[in-house]
Each structure stands twice: as C-alpha cells, then as structure tokens.
A and B are shown apart, each in its own frame.
Chain A
C-alpha cells in the first residue's frame, strides 16, 4: 500500500497542479507447447508532478517515492513549466476548476505467489494437450497487473485507487490438409479483479475451449471470402473494436485539434439512427463496466461521455485544457499509464449501445454475406478509415451460416460504414484484455452488440 507523502504539498485553488504517486505490479506466465517460456514479475513506481502555467505545462517524475522526492518533483515540474512559459509566453487563462473528488484508502488484496499462475497454466496446458492431441501447437498465457495510484490535485481532489486486472489467453494451432498452420486464440476469462475471482480449475472452461477448437477445425477447412463490398454481421468483438478504433480515436479532443475528420462533424448525422455510442466511466446500463474508472489523473471525477446519440455526433472526449478550448465539460478522460507518464486524453469503456434485433434474425436477413466473429487487431486513421484483421468468420448463404473463413481483413470509412447499419442486436458484450496504444499503453474496455452493415472485405 502506498504511503501518503503527498498530501498537503499542493494548495487548493492555485494554478492547476497534480501530484501522483503510483505503483504498478505486473506478472506474466507463458507456456508454449508445454514449455514454460516466460515467468516474469515486475514492480515499478514513483512519483510525478505536472503544473500548468499560462498555457505551458511542466512535468517531472522520480522513481524514488518519499517526502523529499515528492517535494523535488513538484519543484522540478514548476521549474519546467516556468522554463516553457518563459519561452512561449502564451498568456492563457487558468484551467477550469472541477469539483474535488475523494476516495477512501482501499485495502489491497495480498500479493499472490506466481506459482499459482504456473500451476494453473500447466494444468490448463495439460488439459488441452490431452483433450486435443491433434493440435500442431498450443500456447497458454496468464497475465495480471495492478495499478495503485494516490493523487492530489489543486482542485482539492485526493484519491487513492487500485485497479487490478487478470486474464488467461489460449492459442491453438492446427494444420490444413496442405500443411499450412492456422491459429486461433481466445481470452478464457478475466477482467477487473484478481486471479481467484475468475480461475479455479481448467475444466471450468471446457465448453469455451471446445468451442475454440471446433472453430479452428472449421477454419482448417475454410475458404477465403470474395474480395469487395459485402453485407456482413460484425460480432460484438468487432463492433467494439470499431467503436474504439474507428470512432473513439477520431473524437478524442487532442486528435480533433490535430485535424481528425470529426472536427467537421459535431452535431451532424454520422451514422444510422440505430447507432448510439458512449464512453462509459464505471457503470453501463446499470452494470459495472469491465474496467471502471472513477477519477482521472487530472483529478476530475469520471462521468459518461455520450459520443453518438441516434446517429448524431454529440461530443468529444476531453482533458481540462481541451474542454476549455471546446467549451465542453471535462468528464475525466485524462489518464496516465506509468508514474513517469503525463495524462493524455484516453478512452475508458467505449461501446456501441445494443439495439432490439436478435442475432438469428440478422443472419436470416442476409442472402449472401459473412458473419465475422473474431478479430486479433484493428487500426484506424484520423480520417475514420479503419482496418481490422478478421481471424474467424463464416459465409452466410440464403440466411444460413455456411463454410468457415480463413484469415482476412475488413476495411472502410467509419462514418460512411456506420450509415449502412440496418440491424443492431440486443446484447452488449464487453472485452477488456488488450491495451489501447497512443504514446502510452492503456487498459480500456470495448463493447458492442452484433451489427449488420456493409464493409469492404479482403480476399486471398
């Protein structure tokens, strides 16, 4: 548990200042083909300060954390702000003051021995090897991390937060009849919390692993889709990726200022009226988000940001400085990854909202198209152009699922593609095992329903 060496060092109501102590713990255990190839743990931490002065920022961090280092980084951050202010002389007004946020210190769960992860991964690997002897390769990975932060800010915020997460990943490989190796992976379970919250014995995931295996077997018999524009149903993992990559990033206010396509679209119809999208803080549709965030690293209490409402672009995600620029309320999107990182505008739990359709009706509505179920990565441009790798999917022929697909890619322009949405399923499925990359990594939740739309799909 972090000791409090930072309270009282910042006066409330002064030029915007943050002082943050942080400790990050992570552990990884990986088995490839039954061999333990990674067994690592790390614990990093320190203290940082950031100061705003007339439009210029100063930041400093230190890997030592005690009273003296906290005072030193604060002094360095002030010096750095003064250095830049002396050069740039922007003469800007002070940043808006948000209401202070307080959280009581939390009790930390005891540190778990990594042997627990190794034993579990070994048992899981043995289960897979025994149950599916025909595989050409298998990998099991256990990853956990925990972010503990103690934040004091000049708006009076004093927040002590702990955000743990843990996941188990399984990769299966099999050969086609031509000897080509294909792979599929799945996140067995995990999310906000600690290992015992999710994992007891490998058999608890027998059904999920079996589903992954059957899909892999289908894929070894798979075909490449016909290249070109196609009617598709994007499964929740793809619509969530779309929400994050292709829309979310374009409405981050710093990227809007950098020239993203959304800069010209506020208040305009950018999607079908069936499409709504929100960046949730900690609670979505009455349930906890996969990675809840209650206060950001500028000391602003987190609230939901409605990005698209019934197809109309309604908002951007902001930090204090951009909220002042755009005249919008800051809702707690300024987040930093490590103690040595300054807060950037980041998403939290971004989702396309569910609609009213049933998945089976959506499939039945397509004569010739594809049901795309798994993705391994996605990238998007500030123009809204996006590309997702599709690792699993099926043909749809006359309203029914057909042959499996080999690896392919889909692409499009988000705000054009979203206008082609004609059906949205009634379920919201979250994923949270990855990182968003934007100078710093960041754990985020992405979610969505199944969505029927038109995209460009790559062939062989």
Chain B
C-alpha cells in the first residue's frame, strides 16, 4: 500500500553553502589545547581532566533528488569536549562534562561557554553534603541542563514519533498556550552565535530559523516532512537542535536572592520521562540554595515532577545567557518540583 505521506523534498532554489573556515592550523590547534591543559592545572588545581577531546572536522556533502534538488555544503568546524572531576586525597566528586563548538581558534578554549563556572563548582563539590529535609518547590535549572530538559519535553509532547503515534500531549494545542508566557523557544541554525548549525534539513530543504514556543504559545511542532504530512501539520523549517531560549528580565543574582529554599540543578541523571511527562532522577553537580544564597553541593539528591506542569510554573528567566556554539540558553527558575 502506498503511503501518501512518504515524499522527497520539493525544489525551491538550489544553493551552495560554505560554513566555517577551511583548513586547520595544526600548530595553533596544538598550542590552544596545551594552553587549556596548563590553565586548568594552574587555576583549578583540584580538577582532574579525565578526558579532553578536540577535533577539527571539514566535510563536503551534496543533497540531490529526482525533484531537481541539488544542494552542496562545505563545512568546517572545531569541536571540543571535556570530562572532569575534582579530587582531594581519596575524596572525589561526581564527574561533569562540557561540549562546545567554535569556528576558529581566536579564543582560548577555556573561555568558550561556561567551563570556568563548572570547574569552580566542581571544586566546591568536594564539600558536598546531604540535602537535609526534602521539599517541593523551586529548582533553578542551569543552561547545562536546560537544553536537555526542553528537548525531552518537546519530543514527548510535540515530537514526530509521539504525534504519529497519537500519544503526544500537545497534539491538539498548536496556537494555544502550553507554557508560562515568559517562555520563548526557537531553533536558530543560522544564527551567528551558532557554529556549524544546519543549512540543509534532513529532508533536503534549505534550513531556516523558527519559533517552537513564543510567549508560552506553541507555534510549531518541529516535525519531519513525513510526520507533517502524516498528521496534517507544517514541516519544521529546520531539523537541527540549535536551541535558543529568550532571556528574561532578572539577573541571575536577583533570581538567586529571591529563593528561600531551592536547588541549583546543573546536570540530571535520570530515566527517560514517561509519555505524560512524569520524570524522576538524580540531580548531579547541584547546589542547595538557601535564604537567597547558593550554599553547598548536595549528595544523592533526587528531583521528580512533571515536565508539562513545570513548563507552566516558570518563576523567572535570567538576563544572562550562555553560548556554547550549539545553543543560547539562560538559567530558568521552575516551581513545583519535589527535591528529596
């Protein structure tokens, strides 16, 4: 039986894209990595870098189909990932990690993204303590966890698989309010703050930036062409995950000062949330906030709640955003999460 939704990209305009700077400077690349290792050793003496992986990648690809589509892409990008923990004698912290992308070697690698913050936090985690009394209340989600949280929520509530399966919670909510009005989420593969990004979608169309959620209203499902045709919705203008969340109107400092008791969550280690958004897992590399101040790191602390309810319980979004070459994300304060 022929599936009418199965199709290939239609021809609009063919393009030849060039992204990034071709040709790696191996000596400078080596010097930047050496400088990074020396900086970490000097400025963060308790940190052990368990793994540092850096790559320059240059690729050429062509997308063609029988509708006459014929795009080409020449892409060059540097990527960098690190995994680390802090150590003092036999006392060791949870590992943490960071991944980033960049176009050139003009900046020291340690200045890309928020690595210095994470190294400082990791050293403080050597004094981690139990949470104490459990509570249901506020968690301040750092940019290092926010992207994963929103990706998961959008995938569960409005993603291609769940929409086709008929199990997406937001299947009838296009154009309706699905989150707090402070939340605006966009996919921005062409933005100058993104390295690499996307120029040609998985379906063979020219990629464009677009809004997923604007002021709390669901503007797009983010669907593949097949899922769009299958469900009678619009194809997403980009199939990338280069996410931007619009900044809020309070500084991070102001947000923290307004929290009586809460948890700063920097990394989450949890099971796959249920289709309805229920989730639970361990808050890793996370810190207790009390009386408007970030206190000590916490050990073996779980957070649980419901993603859909959380998105409707946003208290504040920070003015500051972190750019790691793949996303532009602020800190977001959610309410109604159980911390135990």
A interface, CB within 8 angstroms of B: 32-33, 35-37, 83, 87, 136-139, 173, 180-183, 227, 254-255, 258-261, 264, 375-377, 379, 381-383, 385, 387-391, 406-409, 411-413, 439, 456, 458-460
Contact = CB atoms under 8 A, between A and B. Distances in A.
B236 to A, nearest CB: 16
Contacts of B270: 387, 389, 409
A383 B94 contact: yes
B302 A382 contact: no
Contacts of A389: 270-272, 281
Contacts of B102: none
Nearest to A137: B165
Given A36-B3, A383-B85, A458-B280, 12 more contacts: A32-B161, A33-B165, A35-B230, A37-B164, A83-B26, A87-B30, A139-B165, A173-B165, A182-B276, A259-B92, A383-B92, A460-B280
A455 B94 CA distance: 19
A383 B93 CA distance: 7
Given A136-B166, A382-B50, A382-B95, A411 B282 contact: yes
Contacts of A391: 271
B235 to A, nearest CB: 15
Main secondary structure of the interface of A (DSSP, over half): strand
B90 A258 contact: no
B50 A390 contact: no
A379 B269 CA distance: 7
B278 A406 contact: yes
B127 to A, nearest CB: 15
B304 interface: yes
Interface of B: 3, 5-6, 26, 30, 34, 48-51, 53, 83, 85, 87, 90, 92-95, 134, 160-161, 164-167, 226-227, 230, 269-276, 278, 280-282, 284, 300, 302, 304, 338, 340
Contact of A381 (B5, B34, B95, B271): B95
Contacts of A264: 90
Nearest to B156: A181
B253 to A, nearest CB: 30
B166 A33 contact: yes
A456 B300 contact: yes
B166 A182 contact: no
B318 to A, nearest CB: 27
B167 A181 contact: yes
B280 A381 contact: no
A255 B84 CA distance: 10
A323 to B, nearest CB: 19
Contact of A376 (B34, B50, B272): B272
Given A36-B3, A385-B94, A409 B282 contact: yes
A385 B282 contact: yes
B304 A459 contact: yes
A60 B206 CA distance: 33
Contact of A173 (B230, B275, B284): B275
Contacts of B134: 227
Contacts of B160: 37
The 6 tightest CB contacts between A and B, nearest first, are A389-B271, A258-B50, A458-B280, A137-B165, A181-B275, A180-B276
Contacts of B93: 383
14 contacts: A33-B166, A35-B3, A35-B230, A37-B227, A180-B278, A181-B276, A379-B269, A385-B282, A387-B281, A387-B282, A407-B278, A409-B302, A409-B304, A411-B282
Given A259-B48, A381-B94, A459-B304, A136 B271 contact: no
A183 B92 contact: no
B340 A459 contact: yes
A36 B87 CA distance: 51
A459 B339 CA distance: 11
A139 to B, nearest CB: 7
A460 B272 contact: no
Contacts of A139: 161, 165
Contacts of B226: 37
B87 A377 contact: no
Nearest to B304: A458
Contact of A32 (B53, B164, B276, B340): B164
A182 B166 CA distance: 13
A455 B134 CA distance: 18
A383 B340 CA distance: 20
A459 B305 CA distance: 10
Given A259-B87, A458-B304, A183 B280 contact: no
Nearest to A257: B50
Contacts of A254: 51
Contacts of A406: 274, 278
Nearest to A412: B300
B273 to A, nearest CB: 8
Contact of A258 (B51, B161, B167): B51
A182 B280 contact: no
A458 B304 CA distance: 8
Nearest to B274: A407
Select the residue from B92, B165, B284 with max chain A CB neighbours within 10 A.
B165
A331 to B, nearest CB: 22
Contacts of B95: 381-383
A18 to B, nearest CB: 20
Contacts of A407: 271, 273-274, 278, 280
B92 to A, nearest CB: 6
A32 B166 CA distance: 10
Contact of A409 (B30, B166, B167, B281): B281
Contact of B304 (A33, A136, A388, A460): A460
Given A83-B26, A381-B94, A376 B167 contact: no
